[in-house]
Structure 1
Amino acid sequence: MDFFAHQEQARKRTGRLVAYFAMAIVLIVATLYVVGMILFNMAEASSNSSQTGTGPVDVVYWNWPVFLGVLGLCILIIGGGSLYRIIHLSAGGSVVAESLGGTLLDYDRAKPGERRLLNVIEEMAIASGVPVPPVYLIEDDTINAFAAGYRPTDAVIGVTRGCVERLDRDQLQGVMAHEFSHIFNGDMRLNIRLVGVIHGLLIMGVIGFYVFRTAGIASAGRRSSNNKGNGAAFIIIFGLAMMAVGFIGTFFGRLIQAAVSRQREFLADASAVQFTRNPEGISGALRVIGGIDKKTSMPHTASEYNHMFFAQALDSVFASHPPLADRISRIEGVPIPQVGEAQASEASRTAAAGASGFAGSVTTSAVHAAVENIGTVDPDTIRAVGRVIDTLPDPIKDASHDPWGARLVILALLLPIEVGDMSRQLSAIDSMLDDQHLKMLRTLHETIRNLHPSQRFPLIDMAIPALSRMSRAQYDEFMGIVTKVIRSDGEVSLFEWCMHTTLERHLGERFKPDSKHPPRNQRRSRLIQEASLVLAIVARLGSDDPSDAMPGWKAGVAKLGSSNLSMPGEAECTLRNLRTALAKLECTRFQDRKLMLEACEATIDHDGRTTIEEAELLRAIADSLGCPMPPIIPDAD
């Protein structure tokens, strides 16, 4: 099953989660209604006895006001509690990491083991086409990790100290591949909603406890003053009922948590093996976990995040993860009895050699492989990205890991290659930077101007984590400077458009989480004109002569299976219209987006030649559609 099928399946699983949640509420409402009717009949009997002195009255089994009152109470408490928690966590994965005591890792101050972790995550993110996620370190001696966020652009990776210090590089890479699988497969959003469901079901019991406690204290006070009455008794009974219902809700919440999580862990393990082609890495990590006997020091609140972790963090009534032996058995393909609990031995592998140079174009097979591998990590791509990173000068790499340095790296990438041609850009930002930063910008530009085009976009990806550490005000100021530099010469180049699109996509949702998102799952047939426009723009950008764009556009339209379309005119084919059309196409189903990318591939490759600029345009389009595409790296010369 590929990335697009996993995303569609994740949407269906969200629907099942809603169904389970509704079933739990029905059971809770039924339980509280029974208690409510008991109290109602007790009150009626007491009132009748005190007023008329007669005997017992007939028992009432159905009462609409009681039912509607109980239903409204449950919806208000459970639904409101779940919604509040989901909204709170939608601010990004950093909320989860910080609630567990995680601290953001800074590359400059990281220790050797921590830098190894950051390098593994950086290579894997760039190789998969997703933003490099911020990494949070949790001071806990157990071996664990998690991916948290609402979408790939606000995802973070959390890693325990034990994971950094007890695993070798292959094992660490296996664990990180497992977590990246959760990002690709749409599990993060589902996990956040699952936390909300559990919180809503649990809060009923918490409120019941406080109602019971308050009523008990009030009742004791009335007894001491000989003030009798049944009101406090009713409240105590109702509080006890809410506590019981809360425990029932928590029980079902943990049951849902386990049911949703266990199969996802098997899938993530299999994906990690597929990504790294090294089953010993992840199975070795699982063996190390099985060979140590340490209790976690994470707060008790970590139990609501149990389903997010690589291995179960805290004990629960229902195990949120399959047994370690089952997971190792599936990974290694051996019977469970043969799975030992001993710690895996250290793996010894040599690093791949560095690259000496890059070609000026990419092959048809490389473009096709990138489209087919959307949402996955390929070990060959990881090694290729590692070679590209190794060829980058150290001052550039160091600057890209610093918040201010990363900003200057981006600006240096936007400056013209020829020093004499950048007076307009420098004059546009002269008042926004002090003398020291302007000097650093010129120094960085002297090095960056000599980079091969295939090294430029990985450099942008490397800078994303440092840029994410800006404040909202700094982000707004930075994007204002970027926009001013791009517009300073009166035109927007393809590289500038791709860079601005990447920055907005990878940073915008981190700093603007409240941005409105249009409705999803629209039919592609309703947006066929937008699809045709995108293909026309891609065809024209890839042709030296505008009249040569028609064959490429026709190849893409044929891939869509559409007919009776006219190619949009040159006046319509602007980069501004491209962004607008892609924003609408992002609302289609994932399978339709896959077909759209295959159509773009057909348009670009219709002449059997793909330039690096066309390859980066295809990646920017995939990014705009919410489909992380691996980098298309040219062969070494």
Structure 2
Amino acid sequence: MNFFEYQDKARRNTTLLVLLFAAAVIGLIAITTVFFAFASRASGAPGAEAGLGEMLAALGWDTVAGIAITITAVIALASFYRLQQLAAGGRAVAESLGGRKINIAPRDLAEQRALNVVEEMALASGTPVPDVYVLDDDAINAFAAGYQPADAVIGLTRGCIEQLNRDELQGVVAHEFSHIFNGDMRLNIRIVGLLHGILFIGLVGSWLLRGSYWGSGRDSRGRAALFGIGAGLVAIGYTGTFFGNLIKSAVSRQREYLADASAVQFTRNHQGIAGALMKIGHHQQGSNLRAANAGEFSHMYFASGLKHSLLGLFATHPPLAARIGRLDPQWKGWGGAAAPAAAAPHSDQVSGIYSAEVYSPSPSADHSQYRSRLDEVLEAVDNNIAQPSANQLALGGALLAQIPGDLKAAAHEPFAARAVVYALMMCPSQFELQRTLLEKSAHPAALREFDRLQPAVAKLPVICRLPLLDLCVPALKALAPQQYQIFKRNLIKLLRADGKVEIWEWALYRVLIHGLETNPDVQRKVPVGGGSGSAQADAQRFLLAAMAHAGNTDYLNAKRAYEAGLATLGQTPVPLPAARDINLQRLDKALAISRDTAPLKKPALLKALATTLAHDGLVCGTEVELLRAVADCLDCPMPPLQGVSHSPLRQDERAIATTAN
């Protein structure tokens, strides 16, 4: 199963979750109705001496309907309230567990090493670097949370970053990234919200029980009635929670096996994740978290965060022994396994991103200039979208090694990260004009940082530009709202400096906004026009036209490339829009609409875009990075490609100057 099939399955799982939730609500309504029937019997109401059937009939359909409406409304409102609390995505989950963000200022070597490992995984897979949170808990555990990759966070406990060695930590982080890619995160947060609604009935019952005990000024009969209602609501609420947790646990257990397998595929090292699981088994606290609300998020963790009874009935994870046995068939069980040695963070290289013994790129490789065969790009679309290989992981390390230390340090600081992005958006032919615009609108200190960093950015290989941009995302998320709006306006001014925009600049800008803004711009999702058929088909054709003009300054060559892309997409040939018609506003609309393409149809779109860029059979480095940028905005993270040669790039112009609105 590849990334697109996982995404499609995630959508179906969401539908299944809604159906199961509806079934649980119906069950709660039925249980509540029976409770009211017995309450009527206890109160001596008419029909109280009859059997259950007669008691239910005596309630009347109006009473049953009132019960159903009340229960449904209470659950819906409680679920909605909890989901609103979690609207911030992964950050809300991490902070509710007491997590502390370390992307900007890691406090010690263990935190720096953990941040390095997360960054290498993100850049090797073609995704923005997620926020990394550390939980000051001695348990060995981790989690990934969020609605989508743009708001995802990786959480690691203190025990995890200090007890695991680099290979083991890498295995755990790869496991969590697989949850991000497989669409598990959104489902996990929805489970939290829906189960809270069911649990809320029990909480109301608990409040009533406390009121019946501590309440004053009531006669014994009134307190007894309050106690009975409270006890009934507790029973009703926890009955629903019982079945809800069963559903959550069954779904979670199967996904953990899949995440383990994906982590091994990512790192090509089954001993890393197996070793982490062994250390959990030998650790005094294991993976059990101490946070007061740890149980609410139990299905999100790398390993079980709570102790479970009832023979593991509510266990959200498979037994450690079962997971280790699948990863390492030679494992002899706990009786024959000595406790692995704890990590020594100072022994790993933490000042840089990678350890020399982990990565060994070819010393002669010059990744600043390369080409890839079209068949390799198409193979990457089929098998490496959000599932990078070990070779691509090594390539990610080699690329990061080419980024100067000053730029990496600046990317981790909110103020300096703005200057880095300004420098990435500069076009050599418009430098003086863009620099003048920055003088008028950027903060003077940011401008000084820009002047300091811009020469290094200008010398940066094209293939390193996206990784550097991705490194900046966590720091830029820390900007105050007003700072961010000024920063965004400045970027748009740079794009439109001379009334034209190059498609590479547009792609960089769109990747950045996609990583920083989790809510899509609904206003951009209107038909782009200029063609027949659905809005989605029009949008896809418009993107193909942009790619065709980006790779060809000659109209006839662009037309051939465009038609090759349409053929790959299975669309009827239509006239190629002129280069002057491909403006910024229409590009944004086309991308926003194409992002909603069904998961199983996105591979065809990516292959059509690649074919358009490489109708001659090769995709040069600039074109590969353009394709990766568009793929990222389509929620299809594409890893860097090795390339088949290091010959100079083609000398013809790779950017299309288009009139901006």
Asked if these proteins are the same fold (TM beyond 0.5), I'd say yes
Q: Distance in 2 between matches of 1:17 and 1:401?
A: 39
Tell me the alpha carbon deviations over residues 424-477 of structure 1, each in whole angstroms, 9 at most, x when there is no partner.
212212133454432221111122111111121211111111111112221111
Counting matched residue pairs gives 615
C-alpha distance in 1, partners of 2:476/2:172? 25
Alignment match of 1:621 (pick from 626, 630, 640): 630
Distance 2:503 2:48 in 1: 83
Q: Could you give the per-residue CA deviations for residues 247-272 of structure 1, whole angstroms, max 9, x where no partner exists?
A: 11221121111011000000000000
**1:45 aligns to what?**
45
Aligned residue for 1:412?
423
Paired position in structure 2 for 1:110: 107
Summarize deviations over 1:508-556 as a string: whole Å, max 9, x none. Answer: 12xx58978979xxxx966323222221221121112122112212221
**Match in the other structure for 2:357:** 350
Q: Which residue of 2 aligns with 1:438?
A: 447
2:227 aligned partner: 236
Match of 1:459 among 438, 459, 468: 468
- Structure 1 stretches of at least 4 aligned residues deviating more than 6 Å after TM superposition: 46-49, 346-349, 513-519
SS at match of 2:500: coil
Shift of residue 245, structure 1, vs aligned partner: 0.7
Kindly provide the amino acid, as one letter, of the partner of residue 306 in structure 1.
Answer: S
In structure 2, the partner of 1:423 is 432
The letter for the 1-side match of 2:607 is E
Inter-CA distance 518–539: structure 2 relative to 1 (3 Å threshold): closer
CA distance in 2 between counterparts of 1:60 and 1:124 reads 59
Q: CA deviation at 1:233?
A: 4.2
Question: 2:201 is matched with which residue: 183, 197, 204?
Answer: 204
Letter in 2 for 1:531: Q
2:296 to 277, 290, 304: 304
Distance verdict in 2 for CA 1:408–1:178, change over 3 Å: same
Asked if the contact 2:201–2:233 (Cα under 8 Å) also holds between the matched residues in 1, the reply is yes
Q: 1:161 to 1:237 in 2, by over 3 A?
A: same
Report the counterpart of residue 53 of structure 1 in structure 2: none
Out of 364, 367, 371, which is 2:377 matched to? 367
User: Using the alignment, how far apart are the partners of 2:606 and 2:266 within structure 1?
Assistant: 22
The 2-side partners of 1:210 and 1:493 are apart by 62
Picking from 235, 245, 250, the partner of 2:241 is 250
**2:659 counterpart residue number:** none
Residue 136 of structure 1, aligned match among 122, 127, 133: 133
Pairing 1:10-29 to 2, within 5 Å after superposition: 10-29=10-29
State percent identity of aligned pairs. 39
Matched, 1:399 2:395: no
Aligned equivalent of 2:351: none
- Segments of 5+ residues of structure 1 without an aligned counterpart are 50-57
Q: Using the alignment, how far apart are the partners of 2:334 and 2:42 within structure 1?
A: 63
Q: 1:543-582 residue pairs with structure 2 within 5 A?
A: 543-563=552-572, 565-582=574-591
Matches within 5 A, 1:503-522: 503-509=512-518
The question of whether the paired residues in 1 share the 8 Å contact of 2:134 and 2:157 is answered with: yes
1:126 Cα deviation from its structure 2 partner: 1.0
CA contact under 8 A between 1:505 and 1:624: conserved in structure 2? yes
Give the distance between the partners of 2:637 and 2:494, measured in 1 at CA: 27
Query: Which range moves more in the overlay, 573-582 or 69-78?
Result: 573-582
| Whole-Å separation in 2 of the counterparts to 1:517 and 1:96 | 30
Take 2:626 and 2:282, find their aligned partners in 1: how far apart are those partners? 48
1:422 Cα deviation after fit:
2.5
Distance in 2, matches of 1:397 and 1:447, equals 11
Render the CA deviation track for 1:173-213: whole Å, top value 9, x for unaligned.
Answer: 10000000000000000000111122111111110121233
- Offset of 1:232 from its aligned partner? 5.1
Q: Is the 8 A contact 1:329 1:339 kept in 2?
A: no
Give me the whole-angstrom Cα distance separating, in 1, the residues matched to 2:573 and 2:405: 54
* Cross-structure match for 1:175: 172
Which of the numbers 613, 616, 619 marks the counterpart of 1:607?
616
2:246 partner letter: L
CA–CA separation in structure 1 for the residues paired with 2:610 and 2:240: 50
| Counterpart-to-counterpart distance in 2, 1:397 and 1:391 | 10
Task: Decide which moves more: 377-386 or 190-199.
Answer: 377-386
Please give the per-residue CA displacement for 1:102-147, whole angstroms capped at 9, x wherever unaligned. Answer: 1110444432221111111111101111110010000111111000
Distance 2:55 2:380 in 1: 70
**In structure 2, do the counterparts of structure 1 residues 90 and 46 end up closer, same or farther at CA, with 3 Å as the change threshold?**
same
Report if aligned partners of 1:90, 1:513 keep a CA contact under 8 Å in 2: no
TM-score, length-scaled by structure 2: 0.87
- The yes-or-no answer on 1:324 pairing with 2:331 is no
Specify the code of the residue in structure 2 equivalent to 1:405: A
**Residue aligning to 2:652:** none
Distance in 2 separating the partners of 1:353 and 1:38: 73
- Measured in 1, the distance between the counterparts of 2:593 and 2:617 equals 29
Q: Does 1:389 align with 2:397?
A: no
User: How far apart in 2 are the matches of 1:143 and 1:169?
Assistant: 14
* 3-state SS of paired residue (1:158): strand
- Per the alignment, in what secondary structure is the counterpart of residue 157 of structure 1? strand
Structure 2 unaligned regions, length at least 5: 349-355, 527-532, 647-661
Moved more, 152-161 or 287-296: 287-296
Where 1:505 maps in the other structure, the secondary structure is helix
Check if 1:482 corresponds to 2:491. Answer: yes
**Distance in 1 (alpha carbons) for counterparts of 2:41 and 2:106:** 68
- Tell me the secondary structure at the aligned position of residue 459 of structure 2: coil
Contact kept, 8 Å, 2:368 with 2:462, in 1: the verdict is: no
Taking the aligned partners of 1:148 and 1:463, their CA distance within structure 2 comes to: 20
SS in 1 for 2:639: coil
- Structure 1: distance between partners of 2:189 and 2:546: 38
Contact 1:107/1:118 (8 A) holds in 2: no
Task: State yes or no: 1:472 paired with 2:481.
Answer: yes
Are the equivalent residues in 2 in contact too, given 1:363–1:634 (CA < 8 A)? Answer: yes
Distance of 1:336 and 1:73 partners within structure 2: 55
Shift of 1:585: 1.8
The answer (yes or no) to whether the contact 2:370–2:645 under 8 Å persists in 1 is no
Q: State yes or no: 1:528 paired with 2:514.
A: no
Contact 1:494 1:613 in 2 (8 A): no
**Equivalent of residue 73 in structure 1, options 35, 46, 70:** 70
Q: Single out whichever of 469-478 and 368-377 deviates more from structure 2.
A: 368-377
In the alignment, the residues of structure 2 paired with residue 513 and residue 204 of structure 1 have an alpha-carbon distance, to the nearest angstrom, of: 34
Offset, 1:31: 1.1
Q: Aligned-residue CA RMSD in angstroms?
A: 2.7
